[in-house]
Copies of this chain bind each other. A is one copy, B any other.
Amino acid sequence: MASFAREEHQFLAELGLAPRNPGSFACGAWGGSGPVVATTNPTNNEVIAEVVEASVDDYEKGMSACFDAARTWMAVPAPKRGEIVRQIGDALRAKLHHLGRLLSLEMGKILPEGIGEVQEIIDMCDYAVGLSRQLNGSIIPSERPNHMMMEVWNPLGVVGVITAFNFPCAVLGWNACIALVCGNCVVWKGAPTTPLITIAMTKIVASVFEKNNLPSAIFTAFCGGAEIGQAIALDTRIPLVSFTGSTKVGQMVQQQVSARFGKCLLELSGNNAIIVMDDADIPLAVRSVLFAAVGTAGQRCTTCRRLLLHESIYQTFLDQLVEVYKQVRIGDPMEKGTLLGPLHTTASKESFLKGIQTIRSQGGKILLGGSSIESEGNFVQPTIVEISPDAPVVREELFGPVLYAMKFQTLKEAIEINNSVPQGLSSSIFTRKPDAIFKWIG
Contact = CB atoms under 8 A, between A and B. Distances in A.
Interface of A: 75-80, 82-83, 86, 90, 123, 126-131, 133-148, 150-152, 154, 251, 254-255, 258-259, 261, 432-434, 437-438, 441-442
Given A136-B139, A251-B259, 20 more contacts: A77-B142, A77-B144, A77-B145, A77-B147, A79-B123, A79-B141, A79-B143, A80-B143, A86-B126, A126-B129, A127-B129, A130-B131, A130-B134, A138-B138, A139-B152, A148-B438, A152-B442, A255-B258, A432-B433, A433-B434
A126 B127 CA distance: 9
12 contacts: A79-B143, A86-B126, A126-B130, A130-B133, A135-B141, A136-B139, A136-B140, A137-B139, A138-B138, A139-B152, A152-B442, A251-B258
Q: List the 7 shortest-distance A-B pairs measured between CB atoms, nearest first.
A: A130-B130, A137-B139, A78-B141, A136-B138, A79-B143, A126-B129, A136-B140
Contacts of A130: 126-131, 133-134
A146 B78 CA distance: 11
Contacts of A136: 138-141
A437 B438 contact: no
Nearest to A431: B434
Contacts of A90: 90
Contacts of A259: 251, 255
A142 B137 CA distance: 12
Given A148-B438, A432-B434, A77 B143 contact: yes
A332 to B, nearest CB: 28
Nearest to A89: B86
Contacts of A151: 139
A442 B153 CA distance: 8
Nearest to A124: B133
Nearest to A441: B152
Nearest to A78: B141
Contacts of A154: 442
Contacts of A78: 141
Nearest to A435: B432
Nearest to A129: B126
A438 B141 CA distance: 12
A81 to B, nearest CB: 9
A305 B151 CA distance: 23
Contacts of A127: 129-130, 133
A261 B144 CA distance: 34
A131 B225 CA distance: 38
Contacts of A441: 150, 152
Contacts of A143: 77, 79-80
